[in-house]
C-alpha cells in the first residue's frame, strides 16, 4: 500500500481504477465500500481528507474524529493499493469559489438544514476525481442525498466515472455505522438505535394508512419519545428526485423516509425504503 500526500505521487495504476473517498475515522461502512471497490476494480484508491468546505458548523469540523494511524492499518489489512491523505492546500491551493447547480437536489433535507454543505461536497469530490481519475467511485447510501448529488454532478461535468451506491451497514442493534457514532456518550449510544427501529417499523405499518404529513409527525413523535433524542426533520421523498411526497398517490416512484436526529451534541442521519 502506498501512502501519498501529494497528487503527483498517485501514479502507475494497474487496470481499472476504483476510488473510495472518505474523511477517515473508518468503520465497517467504509470497509464495505473498500471491499466492493476491490472486487470490481484492479486498483483501489482510498482518500482520507476532512474537507473543511463541507462543514457549515466550525465546531463540527473541530470535533470531527481523526484517527489516521488506525485508518491506515485497516486499509493495509484490506489490501488497498493507494491511500491519498493530502493536506488542505494540496486540495485547495487557492480558495475554491465554485458554486454548483445541483438542479434542486440540494434544496431539501440536508441541503436545507446544512446550508453550503453540498456545495463543499461538490468542490472536494470534483477535485478528488480530477486528481485520482477513477473509472468507478463508491459511496454509501447512508448519505443517500449526497449520492444523488454526486451522480448528478458527475453527469453534469461529463466525467466518465461510474458512481456506485452501496447499502447502509448497521450495527447489530440497527444503528447505521457512522464516524460520528464514536462521539456518542454511552447513554446516547444506547438510545440511538431507536432511530432505525422507528423508521423500519413505520415503513411496515404507516404507508397508505395515514396521510404523509401524519406519518412524518408520528415518526418524529416516536423518536422523540426517547428523551435523549431530538428529531431535526423527518422527510418522505422520492428516491430519484428527492422531492418530498405530499401524498402516497403521487407518481414519485420508490419512496424513502429520511431522518436527521440529534443525540446530545451529535447529529445522526439515516434513511430507509418506505
Mapping DSSP to helix (H, G, I), strand (E, B) and coil, where does residue 96 land? coil
Instruction: Please report how close the Cβ of residue 20 comes to ligand PAF at its closest, in angstroms.
Output: 9
Q: At what angle do helices 68-78 and 28-40 cross, to 10 degrees?
A: 40
Between 137 and 198, CB nearer to ligand PAF? 137
DSSP bridge partners of 49: none
| Comparison of 21 and 244: residue with beta carbon closer to ligand PAF | 21
**Distance of closest approach, residue 194 Cβ to ligand PAF, in angstroms:** 24
Looking at 7-15, 18-26, 214-222, 224-232, which segment touches ligand PAF (CB under 6 A)? 18-26
Q: How far is the CB of 49 from ligand PAF (least distance, A)?
A: 6
Please state the closest distance from residue 103 (CB atom) to ligand PAF, in A: 19
Looking at the chain, the number of H-run helices and the number of E-run strands are 10, 9
124 contacts ligand PAF (rule: CB under 6 A): yes
21 binds ligand PAF (CB under 6 A): yes
Least separation in angstroms between CB 252 and ligand PAF? 25
Q: Of residues 141-200, which lie at the interface with ligand PAF (CB under 6 A)? A: 143, 146
In whole angstroms, what is the distance from residue 106 CA to residue 100 CA?
Answer: 10
Q: Using alpha carbons, list the distances in angstroms from residue 271 to 48, 73, 94.
A: 25, 30, 36
Neighbours of 123 (CB within 10 A): 21
State the cell numbers at 262.
440529534
Instruction: Please check whether residue 189 is in contact with residue 206, taking contact to mean a CB–CB distance below 8 angstroms.
Output: no
259 touching ligand PAF, by CB under 6 A: no
For residue 217, how many other CB atoms are within 10 A of its CB? Answer: 13
Residue 51 sits in the site that holds ligand PAF (CB under 6 A): yes
- Would you count residue 106 as binding ligand PAF (CB under 6 A)? no
The sheet carrying 266-273 orders its strands as 229-238, 255-263, 266-273
DSSP character for 244?
B
Nearer to ligand PAF, 45 or 220 (CB): 45
Total interface residues for ligand PAF by CB under 6 A: 10
Q: What track of x and - describes contact with ligand PAF for positions 23 through 42 (by CB under 6 A)?
A: x-------------------
Out of 125, 148, 212, 263, the only residue in the binding site for ligand PAF (CB under 6 A) is: 125
30 is catalytic: yes
Strands 82-84 and 17-22: unpaired
- Residues lying near ligand PAF in the complex (CB under 6 A): 21-23, 51, 54, 121, 124-125, 143, 146
Question: Hey, which residues are catalytic here?
Answer: 30
Amino acid at each position: 500500500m502506498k501512502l501519498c500526500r501529494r497528487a503527483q505521487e498517485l501514479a502507475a495504476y494497474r487496470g481499472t481504477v476504483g476510488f473510495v473517498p472518505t474523511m477517515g475515522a473508518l468503520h465497517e461502512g467504509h470497509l464495505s465500500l473498500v471491499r466492493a471497490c476491490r472486487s470490481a476494480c484492479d486498483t483501489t484508491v482510498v482518500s482520507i481528507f476532512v474537507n473543511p468546505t463541507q462543514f457549515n458548523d466550525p465546531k463540527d469540523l473541530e470535533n470531527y474524529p481523526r484517527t489516521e494511524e488506525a485508518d491506515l492499518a485497516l486499509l493495509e489489512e484490506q489490501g488497498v493499493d493507494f491511500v491519498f491523505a493530502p493536506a488542505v492546500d494540496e486540495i485547495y491551493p487557492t480558495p475554491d469559489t465554485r458554486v454548483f447547480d445541483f438542479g434542486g437536489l440540494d434544496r431539501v433535507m440536508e441541503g436545507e438544514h446544512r446550508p453550503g454543505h453540498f456545495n463543499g461536497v461538490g468542490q472536494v469530490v470534483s477535485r478528488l476525481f480530477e486528481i485520482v481519475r477513477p473509472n468507478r467511485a463508491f459511496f454509501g447510501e447512508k448519505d443517500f442525498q449526497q449520492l444523488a448529488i454526486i451522480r448528478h454532478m458527475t453527469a453534469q461535468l461529463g466525467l466518465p466515472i461510474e458512481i456506485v451506491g452501496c447499502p447502509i451497514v448497521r450495527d447489530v442493534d440497527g444503528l447505521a455505522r457512522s464516524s460520528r457514532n464514536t462521539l456518542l456518550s454511552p447513554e446516547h449510544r444506547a438510545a440511538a438505535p431507536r432511530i432505525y427501529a422507528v423508521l423500519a417499523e413505520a415503513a411496515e405499518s404507516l404507508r397508505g394508512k395515514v396521510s404523509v404529513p401524519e406519518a412524518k409527525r408520528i415518526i418524529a413523535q416516536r423518536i422523540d419519545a426517547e428523551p435523549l433524542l431530538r428529531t431535526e426533520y423527518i422527510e418522505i421523498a422520492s428516491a430519484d428526485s428527492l422531492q418530498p411526497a405530499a401524498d402516497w398517490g403521487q407518481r414519485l416512484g420508490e419512496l424513502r423516509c429520511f431522518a436527521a436526529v440529534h443525540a446530545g451534541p451529535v447529529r445522526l442521519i439515516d434513511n430507509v425504503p418506505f
